Structure formats: structure tokens, C-alpha cells
Structure 1
């Protein structure tokens, strides 16, 4: 399977298969939100549209990057979501990088959104649903240079071929990334001291996350991935 690793500004065509990576923190947050009962996540292009979607759909919740703000129900922090109860709810998510990357490839026939938390299921989903197809990994952070996102993308790419690939070297890169340092130093608003550790947990959840167009919206949902093969991770 051929892989490309591109930043959002480098996307010049619609890929057949796209895997959008945001480790710290959008798609770690999305995975945690699904684990807490969220039914679907609507990816919003702007803060204003996120609020409008919430206002126009009673019962929907909204989440964004940064500090808590009027109209938003949550911030982009996995640690701050892990004790919430979102059973059956729809969450509108707007972030600086992850949601932007997903929307940039929304027309692709297959779009997965991923982080280390769902790395193995994402690799197995690719193996079962996109065997032999070229994969474009969208490295969302720092215009494609964020090492935590690139490390995760490369790790998933390797696990497509070999589910037993060791995570340690990739996690080391992510742990020493600029984003991890900024989170650890509490330089990013709307964060929690446990965020870095949660973002560096591998295969926390058993599902992959697929984005599709529903009623002119880009909607992210958990999808069932094949079980690990005998002897895999």
C-alpha cells in the first residue's frame, strides 16, 4: 500500500483514501467523546457555524479549541471529557487543525480520522476496506510538520502491513514534540495536566472513526474495525 504524508496546504487533489491525523488533541478528544456516549460528531468549518448548528438543533452540544466560551459546552481536552456523560448526544466540533484537515478531504470516498487512541483499529480498517489503494495521511498540525501527527501517521501506515509494529519509537517522537511541550507547560488554554498522557495512549478504544457527508454536513462516527489477528497487538 502506497502512502503519502501531506500537510493541509499541500492537498491539491481529492484522494481516494484519506486518514486525517490530529493527536493533540482533536481526534483523541473525538475518540473519548464516542467512548462517553456521543452518537455522532459534526465537524464545523468555523466557530460561527458551530454555534449556529447547535442553536438550530436542540439538544446538540458544541466543542472548540481554547478556553471555555459562551455557547460552547466543552473544550478540546480528553482529560476534561473522560468523566462526562454524552449518551446519545450529537457534538459539534471546531478545532484549529483536525477539523480543518477533515473538511479539506471531505469529498474523498473514504475518510478516517485518527490518533494513537485508535491507531490499531484504523490500520485494520484500512487493511480490510482499502487494501491495495493509495492512502493519503493528512498531517494536520504545524502545516504538516507536527512530529506527533507525522509519527502517528507513520505508525498507522506501518501497522497496516504489520499489526505487531512497536509503538515506542513513534510515541517517543510524539512525547518530545512541540505540541506536547506546550501542553505540558500549560501554554494552551482549555487543557488539563493529563492531556499529554491520554494523547500518548495507544489503542485505547476498539473502533475507527469515519467521516461522511450527511445532509450536507461532514459527520464523524465510530465504525467497527476487524479484530486483531492472532499474535498482533
Structure 2
């Protein structure tokens, strides 16, 4: 039987073996018929802890990192989820990437490279309207995210955007939001974001399909972001 991208398969077997097969065969799970009954008590406990973490962030101003870390520790301590499942769900590659890129971003700022790049960018954008400045920051971030991971791009572009905003006398908040949107809007390649790569195989897409379909979307996102931020911070 020849299996092609986009085919739907119905597979039966033990849950552990199905998980291993899905990972090794690069199969995207779209539905599951799980005969194991739902543990309503555990589900309610997890939902309550998650709601409490959000309430602490919104109502008490607690750091999201601390709140969700505490929620994860509490779920593990109460054994609401098996420890093996918690360990497997951690994406260690993302943690290593963040740990490696944060010092790179800090060195980019501490060495003065961010200030030099911001000076050059400020000279290029001096005298231009705010909407053009924000569109340029968003576009530069988006182009950089084509070659780097979006997390690494945000870490590098954040200090640069703040320095450029101070030189141009515009709101740093608007500049950072432009960076945020640009780092999350790479629709031109399958490597700019892990979600782009995830759907490439099941969808049967080619590398060129992303640029062909993503270019109009990128233009729309950058234009809408620049106009909206200008109305908010102009």
C-alpha cells in the first residue's frame, strides 16, 4: 500500500506504541478514539491549577514564568499526571535553544553591536513618518527570522528596537510590538517557524509554496501592524 501526503490512516494498538509510531513515521494525529475513561477528578484539579496561575498573573501581577512553573510543580507534586508523561512533554531542544540564545542576545547588546545597528537604522529612518518606521522595524525582524529561529530573532532585535526608538523619539512599546509581530509572521519559508515545518509534510507543500502564498499575507500583516500601532502610539 502506497501512502502519500494527505492520506488519512486509522491505526489501532496500545497507546505507547501508537505514540512511538506517530513520532517515527512523522504522522500528524488529527483525532483519537481513546477507550480509557477520563479521570474527571484529575482533569478538574489540573484546570483549577491552571486557572489559579492565570488569576495570579492577571490579578496579582505575578510573573508568567513563575506562575506557570509553580503550576507545573504543583501538578507534578500532586501526581495529577504521570511523571514519565511530564518528562516526555518537555521540549528540551527549545530549552537548550533559549538557554543558548539569551546570552547571545545579551552579548549583542553589551558589546555595543545593538547600539551600532540602531544608529545605522536610525539614520536610515530619520524624518520618516511613524507608520513607515514601524513597518521597517517589523519588516527587518521578519526578514531576519527567515534565517534565524524566531526566538533568536526576537532576542537580537529587542534591544536594537529600543535603541532605535530612543534615537527616533518614538515609543519603545510600539517598536517592541513591531518586533513581536515581525518575529511571529514569517510565512515565506518553512524554516522560519516550527509550525510552518510541521504542516509541510502532511500538506505536501514545496518550499516555493510558502513564498508564493505567504508574500501577500506578509504584506498585509506588516501594513496592518504598522497602521494599528501608529494609531495607538502616534
TM range (shorter): under 0.3
Identify, as 1 or 2, the structure richer in strand: 1
TM-score normalised by structure 1 residue count: 0.23
Identify, as 1 or 2, the structure richer in helix: 2
